[in-house]
Structure formats: C-alpha cells, structure tokens
C-alpha cells in the first residue's frame, strides 16, 4: 500500500510540474469572462517601490481587477489629529480630487475602501486614546462625522464599496449590546457609534455600497447570529447597510461543501437582504522551520481555495467579488501573527511561482467543458458547422451545412491547463485553430500546425443561453463570429447570436 501511495504522489507531482511549466492566462482574464471580480490586498509601499523587479505589480495586473489597500486607507494611517489628515498614500493610489487619477485608474483596476472605523483600541488613532479623558460624547460624534465625511467625500465616485465598520463584535462574551467590543468609540457613544458611522458614510456618498466587515462569522453560529441582529438594529435606527464582508482567514482543514455551515451562514445574511463578499481570504498550513509540516497540505489547500471560489459562484447574485489578503507568501501577514507556526497561505509562493491553489482557481474560472470531440455551431445558425477546408493544402475554415458527420467538421477540444483550450480538426490532429491579426477590425481564423503558440489558444466561456463565447487568448476580450454568411472571423464582442457557439459532443 505504501508503494502505491508513493507512486500516486509522484504521478501527481509530475502532473503538477507539467502545469507549473505553463504560463497561465491569468485569473483576471478568466474572472472577467465569468463576470466575477477577483481581488487582493496590496501594500501601497510595495507598489510605490515597484519591488522585486516589478513582479509584485505585474502579478497584480495579471490576476486581479480589484484591490484593497492593506493599511493605507485605515484611520490610523490617515487621521493624525482633529482635522489633521495625511492623504499622501490614498491620493497616490486613487487621486485626491475628482479630476485626478491615481495608480488604480492608471492600471485599469477598481478598489474597495477599508476601513472607516476599526473598533479596536490597538488600531484606533493613538491621539484619540491619549485625549480620551477630555473628549465628550458630543465631541466624539463630531469627530467621527468630520472624519467619515471628509474621507468618503474626497474619494466619492472612485470607490464603490466601503467597509464602514471593521471587527466590532468581541470573541469573548461580555455584557455589551450585541456583544460589541469595548473600544474608544463604544465607551464614548455606546452602540450608537456604529449607527452614526453608517449614517455619515451614506450622507457623504449615497451611491456607496456600505459593508460591515468581520471575521468568525463565516460559519453559522453565535457570532454570525449576533451580526444579523446588530444589522437589523442598525437598519431600525435609520442606518443604511448593504452587505457583510466575510473575511475567511482559515486553516487548511476548513473544507466547504454546499449546504454546510458556511453556506448556511451566507444564506442567513442573504435572507436578511444583505449582499456578501469574501474580503480577506487566506488558507494557512501548519509550518515548522519555514516548511509545511505536511507537504500534502499544499495540495489540499488548492482544493479548498477552489471550494471557496465555488461558494462565491453559488451565491453570485449577491456576492460580487472574492478577495485574498495578499497574493504571494513573501508578504503574507500570517507567519508573524502566528509566530511562524502557520504560513504558505496564498496562491503564489515567495518567488511568485503559482502553487496548486493558483492552478485550482485558474481551472475553476476558465475550464467550462471536458476534453472530447465536438461539433461547433453558431447559435444563430444551428444547422451550420465549423470545419476546415476539404482541400488538404488549404488553411482556411468555414461553416458547412449538414449533419456534422465529416471528420473535417469535428474538433478535438483539449484543456491546456493554463486557462485555455486547443481546438484541432479531427481530420488532422496535428493542426490547430489559430488567429492572425486578432486585434484588427476583422481578425482572421485559420488552422496551422500546432506549435503551442498563444495565437493557437482559445478561451471558452459558458454563457447563460447555453452557448459558448469563443475567443483567442491573444485578444481575449474579442470573439469568434459568423462573418459574411459562411466565414468566421474575430471581432469585438456585442452579444450577437452570431458570436455564441453551441458545442455538441460527438
């Protein structure tokens, strides 16, 4: 039995090594085609320094549409005194006036605001704690109003979501309403501090989606129940709360299956008319001397990352995004917070190499059908089939009318492991569908000898009408379409029936 297990492990690692050798299309492309936002926490200092020869920034741009500033938009970083603000980093990130842009816009990204109020004394601006004895409740309310109105107004229209309050519920039972944590704001204003925070944020930008962000509420249970009751009370007091951020700092043993306590907790929030968002996902493994205690944990970690993405897709109507708290183990907070007993929690390793978690996410986002032989018909002309020329020396492809019973009308569709597929005609499997001039107004589609080039790779995305969007990797936002009745070409996407393809297994 030991030999069998060892052999299986070697085969698995060989399979993963083959995948690792490939250059993935990236999570950003695949998520965009699926209509999901994937994001990460980013350190503005690292962005400014363009660290690691640009690898930090290049991996963000390749894999994410959405970021959250790890620290630079929190009150302690911005709020230095009564009406004293340091907006240097946030302004660099998103621009400090309506007419200016920052790094986010210049790189085609979006941002979540995190956070306007963190209900812990250890992270509340030090000057507030130093002056606590002289600050009256009325003054505290005025300070909170000034801060939230100032920050939200400054970045109005540039941020779609704000975590208004972060981590207000205590882990240990206490006598406070809703088991709220004792902190400066609670001591001055009682539970009303949360009501005021949400009301002030809504006043400053009525178009914002306002979230309460918390850990330990991912599973159904007492803390999740207290969160629901808290939000019910906030709404009864006139506060606007749109959603709940589920942090998901979990360990490798926390697997998920539909209908379990994770799904039940999410459904409870949704049943109370709240959106949800996975806001700080990382999945740590036990570590010793800088290495996983169990090497197989890294494989299992990938499975669990995929389960979280499946969870997000399950609740897609009320869950617009999934963010990890960082993306490379090189800059993860987990080792220092756990005194090096946990780590390796993110999809890329310390050298920015994709781990099994990354490949699991890439496949869940991009793999839409199993390998096999298929006939391809445009949805607008289901009696037509894509095929190669009957002249063996011609590289052209066209649509044929009939029953798709000829080898030149059938295609071997093969998952390449990097987020794309190869399409080879059954009549000559050494060839592959490819594009030339894919970014021209009308790009060409032909076949050529397989050489593993990007112009021979295709992204296939299942759409709501059971048709597939078929696009070239090297121009992924564009699509293959019927062109001039029987020809096909690459054009801009316009949701036309000519651009939706039925893939029938044969």
- Map residue 269 onto helix, strand or coil: helix
Residues 6+ apart with CB under 8 A from 339: none
Token code pair at residue 166: 């972060």
Total residue count of the chain as it appears in this document: 506
Phi-psi region of 178 (alpha: psi -120 to 50; beta: other; left: phi over 0): left
List the domains of the chain with CATH numbers.
1-37+55-67+248-366 (3.20.20.80), 372-505 (2.80.10.50)
Which parts of the chain sit beneath pLDDT 50?
A: 1-20
DSSP H or E segment with residue 225:
helix 222-236
Q: What is the pLDDT of residues 18-36, one digit of tens each?
A: 444 589 999 999 999 999 9
* Residue range 135-159, pLDDT digits in tens: 999 999 999 999 999 999 999 999 9
Which sequence positions are flagged as catalytic? Answer: 167, 280
Q: Which helix (H) or strand (E) holds 321?
A: strand 321-324
Q: Do the Cβ atoms of 487 and 398 come closer than 8 Å?
A: yes
Half-sphere exposure of residue 458, counting CA atoms within 13 Å on the CB side? 28
Cα four-point dihedral sign 100, 103, 104, 109: positive
Let me know: does 479 contact 491? Beta carbons within 8 Å: yes
Closest by alpha carbon to 212, among 227, 199, 226, 222? 227
Helix, strand, coil tally for the chain in percent (to 5)? 35, 25, 35
Given phi > 0 = left and psi -120 to 50 = alpha, else beta, which region is 398?
A: beta
Whole-prediction pTM: 0.94
């Amino acid at each position: 039995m030991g030999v069998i297990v060892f052999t299986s492990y070697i085969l698995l690692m060989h399979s993963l090594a083959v995948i690792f050798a490939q250059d993935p299309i990236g999570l950003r492309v695949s998520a965009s085609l699926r209509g999901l936002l994937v994001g990460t926490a980013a350190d503005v200092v690292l962005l400014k320094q363009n660290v690691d020869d640009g690898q930090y920034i290049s991996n963000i741009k390749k894999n994410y549409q959405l970021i959250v500033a790890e620290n630079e938009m929190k009150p302690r970083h911005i709020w230095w005194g009564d009406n004293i603000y340091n907006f240097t980093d946030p302004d660099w990130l998103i621009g400090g006036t309506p007419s200016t842009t920052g790094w986010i816009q210049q790189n085609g990204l979006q941002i979540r605001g995190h956070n306007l109020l963190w209900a812990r004394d250890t992270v509340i601006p030090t000057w507030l704690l130093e002056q606590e004895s002289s600050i009256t409740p009325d003054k505290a309310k005025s300070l909170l109003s000034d801060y939230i109105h100032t920050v939200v107004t400054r970045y109005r229209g540039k941020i779609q979501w704000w975590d208004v309050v972060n981590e207000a519920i205590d882990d240990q039972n206490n006598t406070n309403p809703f088991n709220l944590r004792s902190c400066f704001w609670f001591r001055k204003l009682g539970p009303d501090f949360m009501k005021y925070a949400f009301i002030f944020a809504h006043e400053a930008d009525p178009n914002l989606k306002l979230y309460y962000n918390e850990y330990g509420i991912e599973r159904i249970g007492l803390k999740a129940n207290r969160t629901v009751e808290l939000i019910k009370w906030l709404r009864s007091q006139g506060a606007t709360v749109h959603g709940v951020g589920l942090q998901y700092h979990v360990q490798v043993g926390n697997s998920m299956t539909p209908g379990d306590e994770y799904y039940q907790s999410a459904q409870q929030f949704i049943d109370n008319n709240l959106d949800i968002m996975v806001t700080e996902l990382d999945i740590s493994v036990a570590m010793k001397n800088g290495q996983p205690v169990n090497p197989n944990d890294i494989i299992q970690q990938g499975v669990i990352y995929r389960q979280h993405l499946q969870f997000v897709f399950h609740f897609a109507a009320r869950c617009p995004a999934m963010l990890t708290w960082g993306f490379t183990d090189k800059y993860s907070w987990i080792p220092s917070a756990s005194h090096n007993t946990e780590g390796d929690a993110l999809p890329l390793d310390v050298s920015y190499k994709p781990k099994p978690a990354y490949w699991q996410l890439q496949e869940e986002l991009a793999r839409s059908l199993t390998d096999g032989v298929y006939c391809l018909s445009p949805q607008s002309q289901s009696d037509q089939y894509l095929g190669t020329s009957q002249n063996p020396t011609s590289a052209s492809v066209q649509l044929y009318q009939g029953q798709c019973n000829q080898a030149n009308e059938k295609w071997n569709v093969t998952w390449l492991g990097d987020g794309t597929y190869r399409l080879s005609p059954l009549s000559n499997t050494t060839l592959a569908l490819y594009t030339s001039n894919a970014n021209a107004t009308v790009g060409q589609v032909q076949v050529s000898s397989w050489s593993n080039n990007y112009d021979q790779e295709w992204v296939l995305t299942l759409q709501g009408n059971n048709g597939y969007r078929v696009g070239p990797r090297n121009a992924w936002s564009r699509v293959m379409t019927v062109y001039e009745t029987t020809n096909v070409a690459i054009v801009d996407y316009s949701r036309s029936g000519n651009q939706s393809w039925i893939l029938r297994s044969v």
